[in-house]
Structure 1
Amino acid sequence: MELTGESKNGKKDKHGLKKKKDNMLSFADDKEAEESTFKLKKPTDKAVLFHARKKEDSPVKTFHSTVLAGGRVRPSASPRLDSDRESVASPWSPQPDDDDDDDDKNSDEGSAMSPSASSASSSSRSASKPVIIPSAKEIQAARRQRRAKQTQKEFISLGRDGHSSAGSTPDRYSKGEESDRSDGGDDDDDGPDDHQRRIEFAPRLKSIRERIAEKLGGSDGSLSGTDGEEQELWEETQIGKGVKRRPGEQSPSGSESSSYSCSSNSRRDRRNPKKRPAGVPKTLPPVSISMIKKRITGKLESLKEVYRARQAELRRMEGDVDSAKTSVETLEESSSERQLKFYRTMNLYAHNLVECLQEKVVEINSLELELHTLLSDQMEALTAQRRQRIKEQADRLQQLSYSKNEQSEGSANGAQTQSTEDSDIRAEDYSNIPADTQPSEEEEEQLQKRKADIMAKSRAVFSDVQDEFCDVKKILSRFEEWRGCYSESYQNAYISLCLPKLLNPIIRHQLLGWNPLMADSADFENLPWFTAVETFCHGHGHEELEHADRETLSGVIAKTVLPKITAFVELVWDPMSRQQSVCLSDVCNRLKEDYSIFEGEQTKPVKTFMEAVMRRLRSCVDEDVFIPLYPQNLLEDRSSPQRHFRDQQFWTAIKLLGNMGKFDLLLPESVLKELMLDKLLNRYLMITLSSQTLSNSGDQACRIIADSLPPSWLKEQDVCLPQLQNFKNHLVQKVHTFCKQQPPEDPNTRSAVLEVLQVLSKIRCNDSIMTLAAKYHYEDLIYTHQLLNQEAE
């Protein structure tokens, strides 16, 4: 690369090279002049070093000249040489002042020649001056002085923007300082010297935008749109300068204004093709008929697609319009005023009904509590009397058994007792089950009188209330009208879930005189409320309707009738009473079969009822079952009062066992087996059965025990339950005893054995039946009476 400066008149310079007419900076003459270089002579007082900063991403590489000893120029890589030269040769940038007279002349002649030519001529003149090379000592002294000044920061650096930053050093110098400090102050030649660093003497080159803004006097915002174009124009100009020209082309060192104008014109021509001159030919791509047809077809398909989208949107809008019209017609026909009036009337009615029931429920609770307390006191009195009588009799017989001094008196008392209780003994021989404890006639009369007073008070509860607020039928008619006219809002209000709680006070008032423990009590299904609720849920013809109210009747019974039954179980029910237990179990089984109260997931009222029943049965087994133990000689005497009392308590326990079996399928099977088999049968009854002191009544007791067991436990069973093993062993031992005392062929023996085998068949002891039949040759009894056919039982 060489830097040629030529004058306008075409004379040869001092090196013998011919100067061209136009002065320009050429990169293409490097290859033509192989060894010829441009030697630049600079004044002794100024050593100007052109050092270009490297661009990381710029692919264009230029060179800079370094002044060597003897005025020779050394080629050196510099990525910003063109930029620096342009900044020197720019017509808007200020020219550095030289102390030389030739520079003054060049500045005076700037009006006649271009800035590029003037800069080239000044370079050629400065090259003719000799360059003084300092000695090594001066260079070392200058380096030390430079480092000292850099350390103290007593120099003024010139930034790219042309402003000085006093007291600070640019980043490019700070790196050099760090490298110098890291060297530890050694005066070697490894670090960059003054002539190897670039010193900028001119302010930063203003952009084209700023120049135009200064000339036009406008604001920066007015040219904001051309900022990108200016940047591209400047890059193209710099690249054009760096590209090597051919020998016949114009050097890039020519007039910058002409180059800028040509570039700007070509840029405008490319961006504004309409303003292109008519004489400039424009190259167009070849066009064929297939291409035109393809474009037209594509455009047609695009328009068709848009048309189809618009048609679909039109159809959707038409559908919306039709839907809106239908809604308007529906709203116009629905008479919102009538609907609003109905809702307001229904809201007022429901509010008044709730207030009325809230006031009356206090009186209903009071009357119900008074009646339950009356019945509970009667039950507690009877239970206490029974327990006291059993305790006194047991104490008396216990003293009679172990008192030798009073043996004769005891026999007389026993005879008297036997004479006074002959009717009871005969009743025992006939039924063997003691009768229920009943109150005396005076107590029953007093009870009925107080109960009548309570019922008289109950009739006055709703005496001051209109029928539409206390009659279940009229109340449900209001909600039935709502369900028929506005079913959607009726369902959204969950009326079917609210009705059981709403009707609860009125139904409890009607159930006040109903007693589920009495057979002569009126059935709850005959009360007025039941008929009204059943008609509301199932229709007049009891047909199943397609709405949620078909479960309302079950809900009313579960939340009203079942709590009433639970209260009677907790306060009034006596598990020892056969009549009360049978009535209670019948009502519960009817609720289970007809209204599915005890099926599926157990509700809170159902759980409360079951817990109350299990609690009463446990307390009865623990507190009321008592079978005394006496010496064998007293029990073998049929006329002894001890045996009579023992047998009475034994049959009382069997009666309780039968009462428990009535609650099969209502209570959990595990709880019922524990109470009936583990506690009552194996703990109390089996001791008496094993004593062999029941004579002929023992067979009847075993049959009653087998009949008391729930059928669900023995259904489809081939083996005996584990809890019945002791009972089975007792029956088998009884058959062996019969066959040992009398021949097996004796008709009396066969009759007695048949009764025992039938009991074994009921408790599903088929293996024991086959064993006994094979041993004593009773196979004919098995097939005659179908002892192994469990389903026939």
Structure 2
Amino acid sequence: MFKKRKTANIRQRRVSEEDVTGEADIVGVITTDDSNSNTVPAVKKEKKKVKKEADAKKQSVLSFEDELEADDGIIFQEKKSSLSYKLRKEMKKERKEKRREEKEKQRQAEGKDKKNKNGGPTVSELDELGIRIVNGREAENIAIQPGDSDDSEDGVTPGHHKFRPRGNKSGQSLDPWKKILQSGQIPDANMIHAIRKKRQQAREQGDMIPIDETVRVEESKSRLVRDDDNDRSDDEEGQSRMDFSVNQQARDRQQRREAFDAAQERGSDISDHESDWEKQQLLKAGANAKVAGGCEGEGSQDGTVEAMSSAMQYSSLDSGGALGMTGGTDQLLWGTESTIPTSAASLPRPANYEAEGIIKRLQDSRTSLEEVFRRHQAEADGVDGELAECKATTERCTHDQQPLTSIFQFYQDIRGYVTDLRDCLNEKVPEINSLEEQVYVLFRQRAQKMVQRRRQDVRDQNDEFSPFAGKGAASDEYRTRRAAEREGRRTRRRREREKRGDSGHHDGMSTDDEESHSEIQMVQTELEHAIVEARKVFEDVEEDFSQLKRIVAWLEEWRARDLPTYSDAYVSYNLPKIFSPYIRLQMLLWNPLIKDSDSNGSGSNGVEVERMQWFNLLLLYGSSGGDEPKQLKEDPDRNLMSNLIERVVLIKLKDIVGCWWDPLSHSQTVRLVNLVRHYAETYPTLSPSSKPLQNLTHAIIAKIKDAIDNDIFVPMFPKNVYDNRNSGVSLFFQRQFWVAWKLLSSTLMWHKVLSDSVIHDLAIRSLLNLYLLPALNLAAEINPSDALDKCRNVINSLPRAWVKSEGTHVFLGRLEDFLVKLAEKLDPAANTPALRDLCNLLKSIGANTQAEKISNKYL
């Protein structure tokens, strides 16, 4: 008769945990009692739907919904007592009543209900009359199984479905409609409309499950949800059908919960019974133990005391305990139950009840207690000793704290000072090097100018007197002017020698180092400018870093306060490097090779170095008046002055030799030899292995070789050219011979300073054999007496150690041969004194055999 409606728009009822029981009962009644054939398929269809939903939940792997129920896995539930179960049941009833009262107040506050469009009675009027509007499901349930749902303890009879999970108000409002339907009256349109309005009002107030499942879908966390399927309005209610299927899952869950509660109640009853029985047994055991306490031993007394305490505890619990106790009483009851022994019979019985056994046990107990006491006493004594030691250590540390703090602060200060000094010197040393280089440039230019002038004079004279020179050479204007200047300087030097009365001088022995007044003034101006720049080097630095005496004070304080750490820091090895910039700045213009020099307070020889300010300041560094020889021997700074001479003075002297020293200058050579010999003999660190000393000797050898190669020249013209002894050629020959002899004597001054092998190579092989002996042979052809005089000067310039040595004639063999030939050229009758001198010269060089032969032959 009616058009079958689609099941897609059937309203789904939200099932809560509270109304699962009632729904399951109602569904069970519908399934068993209803004889209508249309109902059974709906139930089956609902079961299939539930099964599909369960399968869908299992297949979902991407959703993290909170849809897991208690029946999805094993339930782990703690066993609780009957008392706690009853308390929870009472609290649950109180919460339900409280929610019901709150909803009733909210419903009364909403005001009066609107009347029906057809003029029917409102829902509130029906409620006042005791008439309640019910929906289709309620009507069917009422028709199938009539009865009142308020007879049970919770307001819902077990086995009936509960449609108002949040209160009983809805059930009361449906009573009038229930009575009307039970009387057999058919509801008209107004009644149905009023029921719908009532249902709508209950749904808005949260008293009834909404028609659609939009809320449930929004609360879920599933991502695969379609909102259109749950968007149902009231206009589609007429086309939807009621779903009377059974929620089998909720029903099974409720059955399991009821079974668990029943088992828990049975277990609680059993546990209460057992607890009462245990209490009675313990009381009996305590009474028996008390009666037998006078005749039993020590062990029974202990058991009696324990049993009596347990009995008293349980008696107090029995007097104050009840089923309605608070949480604190319940906790006390369950907490004390675990401390009660199972039976008095489980207590150990003593093996011996006699007096001897008791005494033995007491003695053993006393012995053990004494042993424990002794052990504790020993531990206490040890702790007392440690405490006394700790106190002594604390006092000692407190006593040592002040000096350690002071020395620590000093180390911090000295560390900061040394760091600042290093940074200062790193910045100022390049400036000092620049000033020294400027002074060395001035010295080099001045010395090279004189050397070049001397060498140019030799070339001019050779061109002038050489028979192979062209006629145009003599007419050179510049050469004529140089010759005039040269003769003027020689004349002035000759006059000075005549004033001194030097009659043994020969032309060529003096050094042509004369300078004009303008040149001297220009050099002096440059040196004064260097002095001004040197004073500005430490002008922007504090006194602690600019003055040498302040630096010495800092280091001496460190040495005086803690000499071991001073030595461990290798300060003694670094002192020359620290003092070097200040010493070099004071010795900026120092040149010991200049005659009567007064550069920054220094003199012309090595002794003047010891008179400088820095030398006098550092001479007594780190020493005190009461130092013993043993202490001075162990002093780490005992070689300070020697190290300063080696690492500062010798390095500066090497630079002066390279830029200023002229090996042909006899005076400069004498000063330099005396200075180096003085340093080598005075300061112990100047050994042959000293690197600065080796560098100095290499510079000296290099300068001598340069002079031999570039300054020595003896003209070897035909014999007839030298017939006139006053001619220019003869004078030029004589001058150059004595220049070579002067270099020979200057080289031989380095005996015992340079090695003998070096002296032999420079003096004998390079000078004597190559230059002087050929000149002597030429002089012997011209004038034998003059040749004998020259040979005497050559032999007299040899070191005395060589003259006294018997093997000297070995490397002077060519000189020996020359003397033998010279003896043959001398006339024995007219030159008898000359022959005696010649024999003496042979004996002086170790040629005694040749001297005897000449003496026997000519004398």
Q: Which position in structure 1 is the counterpart of 2:813? A: 725
Residue 701 (1) aligns with residue 790 (2): yes
What amino acid is aligned across from residue 850 of structure 2 in structure 1? S
Q: Which position in structure 2 is the counterpart of 1:630? A: 717
What amino acid is aligned across from residue 677 of structure 1 in structure 2? I
8 Å CA contact 1:418, 1:639 repeated in 2: no
Q: Secondary structure at the match of 2:447?
A: helix
8 Å CA contact 2:836, 2:855 repeated in 1: no
Aligned ranges 1:115-514 → 2 under 5 Å: 332=400, 335-399=403-467, 430-432=504-506, 433-438=508-513, 439-514=515-590
CA deviations on 1:25-55 (whole Å, 9 max, x unpaired) are xxxxxxxxxxxxxxxxxxxxxxxxxxxxxxx
8 Å CA contact 1:714, 1:763 repeated in 2: yes
Evaluate the alpha carbon distance shift between residue 615 and residue 418 of structure 1 in structure 2; reply closer, same or farther with a 3 A threshold.
closer
1:695 is displaced (CA, Å) by 5.4
CA deviations on 1:189-219 (whole Å, 9 max, x unpaired) are xxxxxxxxxxxxxxxxxxxxxxxxxxxxxxx
Residue 651 (1) aligns with residue 699 (2): no
1:329 is displaced (CA, Å) by 7.9
Q: Which position in structure 2 is the counterpart of 1:618? A: 705
Aligned ranges 1:652-671 → 2 under 5 Å: 652-671=739-758
Aligned ranges 1:554-703 → 2 under 5 Å: 554-600=642-688, 602-691=689-778, 692=780, 693=782, 696-703=785-792
1:755 is displaced (CA, Å) by 3.2
1:636 is displaced (CA, Å) by 2.5
Q: Which position in structure 1 is the counterpart of 2:621? A: 536
* Distance across 2 between alignment mates of 1:543 and 1:567: 39
Evaluate the alpha carbon distance shift between residue 563 and residue 681 of structure 1 in structure 2; reply closer, same or farther with a 3 A threshold.
same
8 Å CA contact 2:440, 2:656 repeated in 1: yes
Residue 769 (1) aligns with residue 851 (2): yes
Q: Secondary structure at the match of 1:536?
A: coil
Q: Which position in structure 1 is the counterpart of 2:302? A: none
8 Å CA contact 2:809, 2:816 repeated in 1: no
1:467 is displaced (CA, Å) by 3.3
Q: Secondary structure at the match of 1:590?
A: helix
1:333 is displaced (CA, Å) by 8.0
Q: Which position in structure 2 is the counterpart of 1:525? A: 610
* Distance across 1 between alignment mates of 2:622 and 2:849: 54
TM-score (norm 1): 0.51
* Distance across 2 between alignment mates of 1:614 and 1:450: 30
Q: Secondary structure at the match of 2:812?
A: helix
What amino acid is aligned across from residue 536 of structure 1 in structure 2? Y
* Distance across 2 between alignment mates of 1:558 and 1:468: 26
Q: Which position in structure 2 is the counterpart of 1:98? A: none
* Distance across 2 between alignment mates of 1:774 and 1:346: 83
* Distance across 2 between alignment mates of 1:327 and 1:767: 93
Aligned ranges 1:30-69 → 2 under 5 Å: none
Evaluate the alpha carbon distance shift between residue 341 and residue 526 of structure 1 in structure 2; reply closer, same or farther with a 3 A threshold.
same
Evaluate the alpha carbon distance shift between residue 459 and residue 404 of structure 1 in structure 2; reply closer, same or farther with a 3 A threshold.
closer
Q: Secondary structure at the match of 2:637?
A: helix
CA deviations on 1:264-315 (whole Å, 9 max, x unpaired) are xxxxxxxxxxxxxxxxxxxxxxxxxxxxxxxxxxxxxxxxxxxxxxxxxxxx
8 Å CA contact 2:559, 2:622 repeated in 1: no
Evaluate the alpha carbon distance shift between residue 714 and residue 623 of structure 1 in structure 2; reply closer, same or farther with a 3 A threshold.
same
CA deviations on 1:83-127 (whole Å, 9 max, x unpaired) are xxxxxxxxxxxxxxxxxxxxxxxxxxxxxxxxxxxxxxxxxxxxx
8 Å CA contact 2:839, 2:855 repeated in 1: no
What amino acid is aligned across from residue 532 of structure 1 in structure 2? L
Evaluate the alpha carbon distance shift between residue 465 and residue 700 of structure 1 in structure 2; reply closer, same or farther with a 3 A threshold.
farther
Evaluate the alpha carbon distance shift between residue 422 and residue 360 of structure 1 in structure 2; reply closer, same or farther with a 3 A threshold.
closer
Q: Secondary structure at the match of 2:638?
A: helix
* Distance across 2 between alignment mates of 1:658 and 1:673: 13
* Distance across 1 between alignment mates of 2:448 and 2:842: 40
Q: How many residues matched?
A: 442
Q: Which runs of 5+ in 1 are unaligned?
A: 1-316, 407-414, 778-793
1:463 is displaced (CA, Å) by 2.8
Q: Which position in structure 1 is the counterpart of 2:119? A: none
Q: Which runs of 5+ in 2 are unaligned?
A: 1-384, 475-482, 598-602
What amino acid is aligned across from residue 796 of structure 2 in structure 1? D
8 Å CA contact 1:535, 1:542 repeated in 2: no
* Distance across 2 between alignment mates of 1:331 and 1:774: 98
1:775 is displaced (CA, Å) by 4.0
Evaluate the alpha carbon distance shift between residue 341 and residue 655 of structure 1 in structure 2; reply closer, same or farther with a 3 A threshold.
same
Evaluate the alpha carbon distance shift between residue 701 and residue 516 of structure 1 in structure 2; reply closer, same or farther with a 3 A threshold.
same
What amino acid is aligned across from residue 676 of structure 2 in structure 1? C
* Distance across 2 between alignment mates of 1:377 and 1:542: 50
8 Å CA contact 1:598, 1:666 repeated in 2: no
1:562 is displaced (CA, Å) by 0.7
Q: Which position in structure 1 is the counterpart of 2:832? A: 749
Evaluate the alpha carbon distance shift between residue 636 and residue 774 of structure 1 in structure 2; reply closer, same or farther with a 3 A threshold.
same
Evaluate the alpha carbon distance shift between residue 711 and residue 334 of structure 1 in structure 2; reply closer, same or farther with a 3 A threshold.
farther
TM-score (norm 2): 0.47
* Distance across 2 between alignment mates of 1:382 and 1:404: 27
* Distance across 1 between alignment mates of 2:547 and 2:753: 34
What amino acid is aligned across from residue 511 of structure 2 in structure 1? D
1:759 is displaced (CA, Å) by 3.1
Evaluate the alpha carbon distance shift between residue 656 and residue 405 of structure 1 in structure 2; reply closer, same or farther with a 3 A threshold.
closer
Q: Which has the higher contact order (CA 8 A, sep 6+)?
A: 2
Evaluate the alpha carbon distance shift between residue 404 and residue 493 of structure 1 in structure 2; reply closer, same or farther with a 3 A threshold.
closer
* Distance across 1 between alignment mates of 2:738 and 2:645: 37
1:419 is displaced (CA, Å) by 10
What amino acid is aligned across from residue 698 of structure 1 in structure 2? A
CA deviations on 1:387-406 (whole Å, 9 max, x unpaired) are 11211211121147898999
* Distance across 2 between alignment mates of 1:604 and 1:684: 34
1:713 is displaced (CA, Å) by 4.0
1:714 is displaced (CA, Å) by 4.4
1:704 is displaced (CA, Å) by 2.4
1:643 is displaced (CA, Å) by 1.3
Q: Secondary structure at the match of 2:539?
A: coil
Alpha-carbon RMSD across the aligned residues, in angstroms, is 3.6
1:625 is displaced (CA, Å) by 0.8
* Distance across 2 between alignment mates of 1:464 and 1:612: 37
Evaluate the alpha carbon distance shift between residue 559 and residue 528 of structure 1 in structure 2; reply closer, same or farther with a 3 A threshold.
same
What amino acid is aligned across from residue 670 of structure 1 in structure 2? S
Q: Which position in structure 2 is the counterpart of 1:108? A: none
